[in-house]
Structure 1
Amino acid sequence: MARIGYARVSTLDQDLETQLARLKAEGCGIVRAEKVSGGTREGRAELATVIEFLRPGDELVVTRLDRLGRDTRDVLNLIHEAEQRRAFVTVLDPHVSTRGEMGKIVLTVLGMVAEMERRFIKERQREGIERAKAEGVYAGGKRWLDRERIKMLHADGSGPSAIARALGCSRTQVYRILRE
């Protein structure tokens, strides 16, 4: 039986150290961490590795349920996948585990709260953007894709899938830029 820790923060400027220290203090021999949004499971390679690694009797440990995910369905699917592997999920704050039926109920409710909190965050963000636009100070988000490079690769004969793979983005983003 192994205790495997998983730590996650949403943005590159956030710090993982507190979560990592707590998971190690709780006896997690293996700890995987990543800096990626918890809104979906897309792009969460470390989480996929942890789930794939789980063996019967293992325990996946997270400091808070929202570290596992902010979508109720995703969280419940992750718990189900762990159970399919006859492993357990334990949340440290508040301390809840899927070892018992009551733990599963509490984790379901906490998953719903995490999703609701994500909606509130998005709503506040949207309100802030609208306020900034009304005041004329909103400049939009930072563009992280090199539009000229995408157009150049396309002109050189690369297809949208190849461009997306090369730049680490989605085909939808490539198509959107090519339509501009």
Structure 2
Amino acid sequence: MAVYGYARVSHASQCLDVQIDALRAAGCSVIRSEKKSATTREGRAELQTLLDFVREGDTIYVTRVDRIARSIGDLQDILRVLKSKGVALKATEQPIDTSTPLGKCMLDLLGIFAELETNLRRERQTEAIRRIKEIDNTKPRQERSYQGRPPTINPDEIRQLRDEGLGATAIAERLGIGRASVYRVLKIIVAQGSLENP
């Protein structure tokens, strides 16, 4: 019977050291770690390796349940795999121990809260973006903090502004697009003109 650890953070800029230290203190002989989102198991190669490798009687430690899953569906999928192999899941910072009925109950509850937290954060982000867009719509495009998708370039508008005597920089500012984009369109316009008037 072996004791393994799994550590995870969502972003490359985050540090795994605190989790790894806690897992070592819990007696983990091998610790798999990765910097990936945990909304699904997809792309989490270290977790998959661990799930494939563990055998009956082994234990996997995490520091908190949200390190292994951020949705109740994903957590239940992982637990089904562990149960079928006779492997227990424990947490160093929470009363999680799937080898006991109370531990299983606590895991289900914490999984629900982890999913709720993820959904609430997503809603807050969506609301923040919506508010920024509302404020930005009152500003000139160049001053907007949320640029969103680049505008569609209309060659006819660029041709018309060029014919009015505007240079590439002035056209770019007027249309809210990059100067390089204006130059590319002007080059095409000039080439088309050469073809039409040999």
TM-score range, shorter chain: 0.7 to 0.9
SS of the residue corresponding to residue 33 of structure 2 reads strand
The one-letter amino acid paired with 2:2 is A
Q: Structure 2-normalised TM-score?
A: 0.68
Quote the Cα distance in structure 1 between the aligned partners of 2:34 and 2:54: 18
2:146 to 135, 138, 158: 138
**Cα drift, residue 102 of structure 1:** 1.5
Q: Which has the larger radius of gyration?
A: 2
**1:110 aligned onto 2:118:** no
Aligned to 2:52: 52
Quote the Cα distance in structure 1 between the aligned partners of 2:26 and 2:91: 11
**Cα drift, residue 125 of structure 1:** 0.9
**1:122 aligned onto 2:122:** yes
**Cα drift, residue 124 of structure 1:** 1.0
Identity over the aligned pairs, expressed in percent?
Answer: 40
Could you list the runs of 5+ residues in structure 2 that have no partner in the other structure?
137-144, 150-198
**Cα drift, residue 128 of structure 1:** 1.5
SS of the residue corresponding to residue 102 of structure 1 reads helix
Aligned to 2:196: none
SS of the residue corresponding to residue 4 of structure 2 reads strand
The one-letter amino acid paired with 2:5 is G
Deviations 1:28-61 (A, max 9, x none): 0100011110111110111000101111110010
Determine if contact 2:95/2:106 at 8 Å carries over to the other structure.
no
**1:65 aligned onto 2:73:** no
**Cα drift, residue 95 of structure 1:** 2.6
Quote the Cα distance in structure 1 between the aligned partners of 2:76 and 2:111: 8
Aligned to 1:97: 97
Higher RCO structure (Cα 8 Å, ≥6 apart): 1
Aligned residues: 141
The one-letter amino acid paired with 1:35 is K
Quote the Cα distance in structure 2 between the aligned partners of 1:122 and 1:20: 28
Q: Structure 1-normalised TM-score?
A: 0.75
Quote the Cα distance in structure 2 between the aligned partners of 1:21 and 1:140: 41
SS of the residue corresponding to residue 94 of structure 2 reads coil
Quote the Cα distance in structure 1 between the aligned partners of 2:127 and 2:121: 10
